[in-house]
Structure formats: structure tokens, C-alpha cells
A and B are shown apart, each in its own frame.
Chain A
Amino acid sequence: MELTEDHPQDGSAPAAVVPPLRRIVVESETVPIRVGDYAGPPDPNYGRDPWQVGTGTEGEPVWVEERMRTEDLSIAYGDNRAVKDVSIEVNSGEVLALIGPSGCGKTTLLRSLNRLVELTPAAKRTGRIILDNQSVDDFDVTQLRSRVGMLFQQPNPFPMSIFDNVAYGLRERGSKKPRRKILEPVVVDALERAGLWDEVSSNLNHPALALSGGQQQRLCIARSLAVSPEVLLLDEPCSALDPISTSIIEETIVELKSEVAIVIVTHNLQQAARIADRVAFMYLGDLVEQGAAGQVFGAPREERTQDYVGGGFG
């Protein structure tokens, strides 16, 4: 297998060292070296070119297209800078995992992508966040957040029926509430994509809070998917779940990445290795290193990354 550098300008080839974690990475079916679709020639509307991330089975180049990026993004709570000059891209068709010890700013970075961080009083931002070549500040918040969905650490379905939960975003989008008949196909589709349909198809009117934790989290995925987002932000979505629910959610994430760009914050390195295509390691607000999952786990360039993924601290 051939690893291609995800930062073409960097040029340095991954070192040939084989630390223990690499084994997990290589054996995992879902992990990197995407045999993705050829993204096609550069889209003139995009501004930036899609870039090659690897080579497909037939030797054809594999491209990803940028969905979002931050440019020198800094976020501060009062005097405390939680994110320092971070520039990172979020691409369609891949899972980007943000890893790092607690308090390293990864959740803040994630929450800034849909401007949810602005709910925190005293949060300040410098630098730009671009969604489809347009600054996120130019979007109406409602519109931005339906294009950039989010999932939280704790499953948070609303105290309503399963149907109403999934339909919530659609109903609240306009001033006129669509009828159930119109909503139904969208709700069913969202539940199917979240892998929950088979379990709840017969009791859409049951309270969502009666579902198990894992089901609730998948319901939240469906709730986000219902408003057809382009990017899905996941903030440690499995930290409150048992291993079986976790693996179901992970499967769902991997299935979704072909249609939605996914950014996941996780404390769980194995999880990042299992599902991520690209990994960014953050430490004390700095983006220390980003690269293909295999490279970051297998041959980290930075010493701090090496220490963290090797279990030296964190």
C-alpha cells in the first residue's frame, strides 16, 4: 500500500518506522488510502482545486474537494486563547478526526465551524472560516447550521416523538410549517441513512427519550441529516455509549462520509484510527500536525504527536 502525503507542499515522505499503532491502522478495513471517486476536474465555483490524496486500485488519482477551511483561525475566551492560528481544510468524502488531550481546543475549533462557539459569552474570533468559498459570517446562522450539522457528546433528542425530533429542523426552517405528509419521506430517508429506520419504523410516535443511548445518538444523526447538511461535526459522539453502540455509530459515520464531509473530535485514538481518513493533532490550541491517518499514527512528523499517539501523555 502506498501512502501519499496529504500536504503536497510539504513534500516529505512518511518515515518508514513502524510503531505499534500502525498495525491497527493497516488492518482496519475502513481506514485511509481511500479508493474514493475521482472528484472530477476542478469546479470553477469552488475557487480552490481539488487535490490528490491517493491512488485508486487502478492507479487512477483520487481527489477530494474542499468543503470548509479555516484560515489563521484563533478563538479566545476572554484572555485565554483556546485555538491559535489554525488553518485546516474539511473535505467532502472523508472523515477528519481532531485528536489531542483535554483542553487542547479541538472542541472549540469544532464548535467554531458552525459558529456555535458564539453562544459562549466572551468568546472572540479572529481569522476566517470559509464554507464553499464564502465566509461563514456571510451566511444567515440558520442557513449555516443547516449546512453544517452537529452532534454532541451526550445524545440530546428533544422531549418529543421520534418523528417530531427528525422533523424538527425542517419545521423550524421556514415560517410556514410543512404538513406531515410532506415531511414523512424526508424523515424516513434520514432515519434510513442514520441506520435507525429498521428499529423505529413501527413506533415513530413513541417518545424519543425512551430509546437507548446508542439509538438516541443515531436519532440525533438523523435529525441533522434531515436538513441535508454538507458537513457534519461530531463532538465525541460515542463517549457516552457502550462499545456495541459505538461500533454501530462508527459504521454509520463511515457510510455517511461519501455524502457528507465529517469532522469528528475524539479522545479515543483507536476510534480515530478506525474511521478517520485524515487526522489533525492539536495541543494547547496549536494545530501540531495534520495528515493522512496512517501517517499521523504510523509516522508522525512531530515529537509531540509521536508522544501522544504513542501513549506518552494525554
Chain B
Amino acid sequence: MEAASFNEVDLQEQTLEVDRTDRRVELLLGALASTILLLIAGMIIFVFVKALPSFTHNGLAWFGSGGSVDDQLMNIFNSPAEPENYVYHLRAWPLLYATILITGVAVLISVVFSVLSGIFIVEFAPERLRKTIEPVVKLLAAVPSVIYGLIGILVVVPFVAEHLISEGRKESVAYVIQLDGTSILVGVFILTIMICPIMIAIIVDALRAVPDKWVEGAAALGVNRWRAMRTVSLRAIRPAIVAALVLATARALGEAIMLSMVAGSVGFAPNPLDGFTFFLEPARPLASTIVDNAEGLSVAPFGQTMYAFAAILLISSAFLSFAGWAARKSFSRYTLGAR
């Protein structure tokens, strides 16, 4: 090769050529990403602006309890037509409480269940069983929630009403609430079934990506499979567990239709002091409240109240993502890029 062909001009021209293509792609992708960011930001601002009247009228008491939330919503819906007479009075605690309770319990149960089943599928299940379970789990993760709701209301709710709710139990709380089988128990149960497949799928993939050499190294130190799983593999996949947790919680938070079908759809705060009856009491989380009241959105103050619920859900999921990011970051400290 001749040295002359390597003179500076040639080289520069070539580099520029490549750079121009790269630059175009960069700009295009950047524009796409920015559009998405703008859309999200616009949506958040829009929701918050719309929600503002509900928050400003109630102040911090918005988050408190007091009176029947369903009656308050009814009053808001029946507001006079003049804007200066709009009713905004709302104490949303029962709805927030129901959201936290149902989501929290369902996610807690599922994370334990999913981690254990993930370990079983990856490490202990016989090949044939594994080959059946895995596709089924992935299929379950994609089932529309309304189907779960339908099965819940047609099968589980009647079962609970028949076998767990005695006349005596009904009477014991008859002065506040009616027990008809739709309850936080059924809500949590079906929500758990709904979010488990997502978590299992993520955890199974993560466990499978744990390098064999780590497990082998633990085995060579005399640690049995279960213990190696717990001390090495589970530790290594903590970031993935957090990711699964965030996804599942987000789905649970946003779950509206199924819960409004099986959890009773009553703005009631179940009382843990009621003992076992507590689990049989109905409740309604924020997302279900929005869905159930969709037809009243044309009434301005009512619509704004619904926007307020939406804002709370948005904040929660933003907080969730942030917490998940922070947790993943701290858990990844020792994993580095090894997986």
C-alpha cells in the first residue's frame, strides 16, 4: 500500500463521511426520544393542572378520613351548575387506604411466591415439568385482567359468600357495611394470581442468566443447591427482583376493572379490628374509582376530582420507578456488568 493514500486530507474526508450518517441517526433518535419525553411531561402537567382545584379546596385534609367518601363523591357529582358553587369537599382516605392495602398485600405475597417458584422452575423442576410451566406462565402474564375479573365474580365471589360468610358474620357488621362476597380477600387473591406470572417470568430469566460458575464455585465450597441459590444466585438477581417488583406494583396500582368487579366497589375502609371479617369487607382503590365513575366526568368538579385521583396514581408510579432505580443501583454495586 502506498503511503501517499494515507495523507491527511483523505483521512479527514472519510471520517466526516461516517460522522454525517451517524449524526443524522443520532438526531432522528434524539428527536423521537424527546417527543416521548415531551408527551409524558405534558400529560403530567395537564393532569396536575386539572386536579388542582380538588387539592386546593381540601388542603391536606384531602388525604384524611371523615364521612363517607361515596356520599362526598355523590355531592360533588350533584354540584350546582355555577362554577362559584362547585362542591369539592372530599376525604379520600378510604380510597388511598384500599389502594395501598390491596396492592401492598398482593405484591408482598407475589414476590415471595414468585421467587420460590422461580427457584423451583430453574433449579429443581424436572425438565418435562419445566417445559410445560414456563410457556404457561408467560401466557398467563398476557391474560387480560377483565377475564380474571369475570372468573372472580362468577366463581370466587360466590364461593366466598357461601363458605366464609355466615349469617352471624353478616349481622356483626350490618350496621356499616354489607358482606356479599366481593371483598379485599378476593381482590388480593385475584390480583396476586394476576401479577405473579409477570414476576415469575422476570425472575426465571434472571436466575437463568446467573453464571453457572458462581453456583459451581459455591458447590465446590461445600454449599448445597438450596443454600447456593439463596446466598449467591438470589443475591445476584436482586436488581431483577426489584425490577419485577416495580412492574408488578405498577400493574397492581393501575388495576381497575378487575378490582372494581371483585373487591366490592364501595368507598369503605376495612377495619383490621374486625378480625377475620376484615378480609371479607369490600373496598375500592383509586383506579377502580376512576373507572366506575367514568360516566360522570362531564360534570366539571367531578372530573377534576377524578384528575386528582389520577395525579396521585401518577405520583405513586413515579415514586415507584425512582425507588426501584435507587434500589437496583445499590444492589448492583457488587454485580457490576457481570450478568
**Which residues on A are within 8 Å of B, measured CB to CB?**
114, 116, 119, 141-146, 149-150, 152, 154, 156-161, 168-169, 172-173, 207-210, 220, 223-224, 227
- Interface residues as binary, B203-216 with A (CB distance below 8 Å gives 1, 0 otherwise): 00000000101101
Residues A209 and B334 in contact in the complex (CB < 8 Å), given A152-B217, A154-B213, A159-B235 = yes
Q: Is the CB of B220 within 8 A of A145?
A: yes
Tell whether, in the assembled complex, residue A172 and residue B227 are in contact, meaning their CB atoms are under 8 Å apart.
yes
18 contacting pairs across A/B (C-beta < 8 A): A116-B216, A119-B219, A144-B222, A146-B222, A149-B221, A152-B216, A152-B220, A156-B213, A156-B216, A156-B217, A157-B217, A158-B214, A159-B336, A159-B338, A168-B221, A172-B221, A207-B336, A224-B220
Q: Are B334 and A169 in contact (CB under 8 A)?
A: no
B78 at the A interface (CB under 8 A)? no
Query: A-B pairs with the 4 shortest C-beta distances?
Result: A145-B222, A142-B222, A156-B213, A150-B220
How far, in angstroms, from A146 to B221 measured CA to CA in the complex?
6
Bound-state Cα–Cα, A150 to B223, Å: 13
Task: State the Cβ distance, A87 to closest chain B Cβ, in Å.
Answer: 24
Report the Cα distance A161→B335, complex, angstroms.
Answer: 10
With most chain A CB atoms within 10 A of its CB, the pick from B216, B222, B231 is: B222
Indicate which residue in B211, B220, B227, B231 contacts A114 across the interface (CB closer than 8 Å). B220
On chain A, the residues within 8 Å of B24 by CB distance are: none
When distances are taken between beta carbons in the complex, the residues of chain A under 8 Å from B339 are: 159
Task: State which of B216, B219, B221, B335 has its C-beta within 8 Å of the C-beta of A159.
Answer: B335
CA distance A223 to B218 in the complex (A): 10
Q: How far is the CB of A149 from chain B (nearest CB, A)?
A: 7
Across the interface, which residues of B come within 8 angstroms of A156, CB to CB? 211, 213-214, 216-217
Measured CA separation A209–B332 after assembly (Å): 11
Q: Does B308 contact A (CB under 8 A)?
A: no
- Taking A156-B217, A169-B222 as given, write out 9 further A-B residue pairs in contact, using a Cβ cutoff of 8 Å, ordered by the A residue number: A114-B220, A156-B211, A159-B235, A160-B334, A168-B218, A172-B227, A207-B333, A220-B217, A223-B217
Residue of A nearest to B210 (CB): A159
Which residues on the A side are within 8 Å of B232 (C-beta)? 158-159
Known: A152-B216, A152-B217, A159-B214. A142 touches B224 (CB 8 A): yes
Across the interface, B221 reaches (CB within 8 A) one of A160, A169, A209, A210, namely A169
| Smallest beta-carbon distance B214→chain A, Å | 6
Q: Cβ of A223: which chain B residues have Cβ within 8 Å of it?
A: 217, 221
Q: Whose C-beta in chain B lies nearest to the C-beta of A151? A: B220
Closest to B332 in A: A159
A157 vs B218: C-alpha distance in the bound complex, in angstroms? 10
Determine the chain B residues whose CB is within 8 A of the CB of A208 once the complex forms. 334
Min C-beta distance of A125 to chain B, whole Å: 17
Binary per-residue interface labels of chain B (314-339) against chain A in the complex, 1 for a CB within 8 Å, 0 otherwise: 00000000000000000001111011
Residues of A within 8 A of B223 (CB): 142, 169, 172
Bound Cα distance A158, B210 (Å): 11
Give bound CA distance, A149 to B218, whole Å. Answer: 11
Instruction: Pick from A141, A169, A207: contact of B224, CB below 8 A.
Output: A141
B290 within 8 A of A: no
State A142–B219 Cα separation when bound (angstroms).
Answer: 9
Cα separation A144 to B223 with both chains bound (whole Å) = 11
For residue B252, CB closer than 8 A to chain A, the reply is: no
> In the docked arrangement, what's the CA distance between A154 and B220, Å?
14
Q: Does B236 contact A (CB under 8 A)?
A: yes
Q: Which residues of B contact A144 (CB under 8 A)?
A: 222
**Which residues on the A side are within 8 Å of B218 (C-beta)?**
158, 168, 172
Complex Cα distance, B218 from A309, in Å, reads 35
Contact across chains for A209 and B222 when beta carbons are under 8 A apart? no
Find the A residue at minimum CB distance from B225. A119
Q: What mask results when residues 286 to 327 of chain B are scored 1 for a CB within 8 Å of chain A, else 0?
A: 000000000000000000000000000000000000000000
